[in-house]
Chain A
Amino acid sequence: DSGVTQTPKHLITATGQRVTLRCSPRSGDLSVYWYQQSLDQGLQFLIQYYNGEERAKGNILERFSAQQFPDLHSELNLSSLELGDSALYFCASSERGGTYEQYFGPGTRLTVT
């Protein structure tokens, strides 16, 4: 158990809908990262927050957004969902940002039908 929690574990929704994925980092970790893992593209970095502020952006679509709250939990919002958004979404946390190992949660499996 990494200490990172993610909810829900599974999510099934229809195209065009909006969902929110939630992540609670390990106790004491200030950085939260979001990744998408799909069958044909491996693990793709989406976005990173440090102590409530966005610090790095990867291949995140404009339909997606995220935020980190004062209690350090984070939410990833996915809107206008398309079939291609079906994937595993992982949250990771680290003590600080950048050159520190990340601890991954169990992931949320999103299926868009």
Chain B
Amino acid sequence: GENVGLHLPTLSVQEGDNSIINCAYSNSASDYFIWYKQESGKGPQFIIDIRSNMDKRQGQRVTVLLNKTVKHLSLQIAATQPGDSAVYFCAENTGGFKTIFGAGTRLFVKA
């Protein structure tokens, strides 16, 4: 699953710091949002999801925030670790069968 060559937005953080990855989604009718992590050479992996009737959801070391007013989604990773280095994708779904993925953000964690 390499994204070498893609001009992805990149976020570089120090190990132990918190990371915030942002995503602007396109469809105001979308009601289900997901964050995926893609490590080099692998397929995307589900991290956390949120439905439109919520504005915050927490997982293990991750929090997703949803702002429907401005169509914005963010993923917060607490105490970022080297293993968190990957490309992160947000995805939206309008309740049908089609999921639209964002372009992705590459996260580099410096030891």
Identify the A interface with B (CB < 8 A): 2, 4, 31, 33, 35, 37, 39-40, 42-45, 48, 50, 55-56, 58, 88, 90, 92, 97-99, 101-107
With A and B bound together, what is the CA distance between A45 and B1 in angstroms? 15
Interchain CB contact under 8 A, A107 and B1: yes
Give the residue name and chain of the B residue nearest to A41 (CB): B6
26 contacts between A and B (CB under 8 A): A2-B43, A37-B1, A39-B6, A42-B3, A42-B104, A43-B44, A43-B89, A44-B101, A45-B98, A45-B99, A45-B100, A50-B97, A55-B97, A56-B97, A56-B98, A88-B1, A92-B44, A97-B97, A98-B99, A99-B32, A99-B51, A99-B95, A101-B46, A103-B46, A105-B43, A106-B43
**Which B residues form the contact surface with A (CB < 8 A)?**
1, 3-6, 31-32, 34, 36, 42-46, 49, 51, 89, 93, 95-104
Q: Are B98 and A58 in contact (CB under 8 A)?
A: yes
Contact flag A98-B1 (CB < 8 Å), given A39-B6, A104-B43: no
Chain A contact residues, majority secondary structure? strand
> In the complex the two chains form, is A56's CB within 8 Å of B43's CB?
no
The minimal Cβ–Cβ distance linking B66 to chain A, given in whole angstroms, is 14
What 7 A-B pairs have minimum CB-CB distances, sorted nearest first? A104-B43, A56-B97, A39-B5, A99-B32, A55-B97, A56-B98, A43-B101
Min Cβ gap B57→A in Å is 13
A39-B5, A40-B5, A42-B101 as given contacts; A98 in contact with B96, CB under 8 Å:
yes
- The reply to whether B95 and A90 form a contact with Cβ atoms under 8 Å apart is no
